[in-house]
Structure 1
Amino acid sequence: MRVLVLYAHPVETSFQAALHGAVVGALTRAGHQVDDCDLYAEGFDPVLSRQERIDYHDLAVNRRNVDPYVERVMRAEALVLVYPVWNFGFPAILKGFFDRVFLPGVSFRMENGKAVGNLGHIRKLAAVATYGGARWRALLVGDPPRKSVTRVLRAQVGRLGRVPYLTHYDMNRSTEATRSAFLERVTKEMERF
């Protein structure tokens, strides 16, 4: 299966980088063809320009500044997101990827004024996320990243079974043992993805 891994963390020595390495390694060992999109390493510009917003609904031109990324999304049969949760949301670079690449005609199409999912070729979806705070804090504010993946993004892709949303909460107080256990959990999940 062709798996697009979207990775969003700027520090190569972070725990998130270790998770990213585990995801790519496990998917590769499982025989998947992995397209590893490290947004920071690739220098992805997350800023939606004025002109891009003006052209947003014009299917003839809305992809022109991000077409290589659109093509990667369109080739994918599965999508795995690897990111930290900052300020109860996605890192800006990942949010910018969704804003600039998940365009009309790409992730959705308009039918009678209603947005309809357009990523039916994506048959599997997963996320690997870390949160600085405890789970109760994320729940208190509604856990927007979890809902964005398990509800919004899920609605744009093909019919899915379970959507693994793998999380390590309370990173601010994590230990070597909690990080090791989570790394092992992620590796096992990706090996059977």
Structure 2
Amino acid sequence: MRCLIVLAHPLDKSLNHRFADLAAQTLAAAGHDVARIDLYAEDFDPRLTRAERETHYTETPDHSGIAPHAAALREADMLVLVFPTWWFGLPAILKGWIDRVFAPGIAFDHGTDFGPIVPKLDRLRRMVAITTLGTPWWADRLVMWRPVRRMLKTAVLGSCASQARFSYLPFYAAEKPTAARIDAFEKRVRAALTR
């Protein structure tokens, strides 16, 4: 399989970088072709450009600013997102990547007469979201109802690759990690990626 890992954390020594490295090693060891995009390392601009938005509803949307990212997404059988959850949402750089790359002509086509959009990521079979949260599990699940999970699974994946399976792997209370908790989570990541 072609696996695309998209990492969104500004600090090289973060748990997110560690988990992205683990994902890459696990998938490569299983014989998969692994591509990796580090949004902060490449200084990805999360802002949707005027040209991109102005051509949003035309027959040929302008994807010139994100062409390599669009090609990587189109070619992916598996997409692995590795990111921190901040304020119960995606980091701006990752949200911007989704805004710009999950675009018409790439991830979906507009429906006729502004009806439902038509999924276009037919190749994508799986999305895995690996995220760290400073909050305890109960705040995400019981108070906020897992907004990041719902958005990624229902809005993004459900609209653009409805045939794909989704896995959500949250590492809670990430500001106080113990070696034992990290080891247990890494086993969970390995198991999810080799399923």
Superposition TM-score, scaled by structure 1 size: 0.92
Structure 2 alignment gaps of length 5 or more = none
Opposite residue 176 of structure 1, the aligned amino acid is A
Corresponding residue number in structure 2 for 1:115: 117
Opposite residue 120 of structure 1, the aligned amino acid is D
Corresponding residue number in structure 2 for 1:169: 172
Q: Among 167, 182, 185, which residue is 1:182 paired with?
A: 185
2:175 is paired with a residue whose SS is: helix
How is 1:1-193 mapped onto 2 (pairs within 5 angstroms)?
1-112=1-112, 113=114, 114-139=116-141, 140-155=143-158, 156-161=160-165, 163-190=166-193, 192-193=194-195
Matched residues, number: 191
Q: Which moved more, 1:51-60 or 1:37-46?
A: 51-60
Structure 1 alignment gaps of length 5 or more = none
The alpha-carbon distance between structure 1 residues 62 and 142, as it changes in their structure 2 partners (threshold 3 A), is farther
**Preserved contact between residue 123 and residue 158 of structure 1 (Cα < 8 Å):** no
2:22 is paired with a residue whose SS is: helix
Runs of 4+ in 1 over 6 A off after TM superposition: none
> 1:164-184: per-residue Cα shift (whole Å, max 9, x none)?
211111213332221221122
TM-superposed deviation, 1:158: 4.8
RMSD of the TM alignment (CA)?
1.6
Opposite residue 134 of structure 1, the aligned amino acid is P
Opposite residue 124 of structure 2, the aligned amino acid is I
1:46 is paired with a residue whose SS is: coil
Q: Percent identity?
A: 34
Opposite residue 87 of structure 1, the aligned amino acid is W
Q: State how far apart, in whole Å, the 2-side matches of 1:90 and 1:81 are.
A: 10
> 1:66-109: per-residue Cα shift (whole Å, max 9, x none)?
11111111111111111110111111111000111111111111
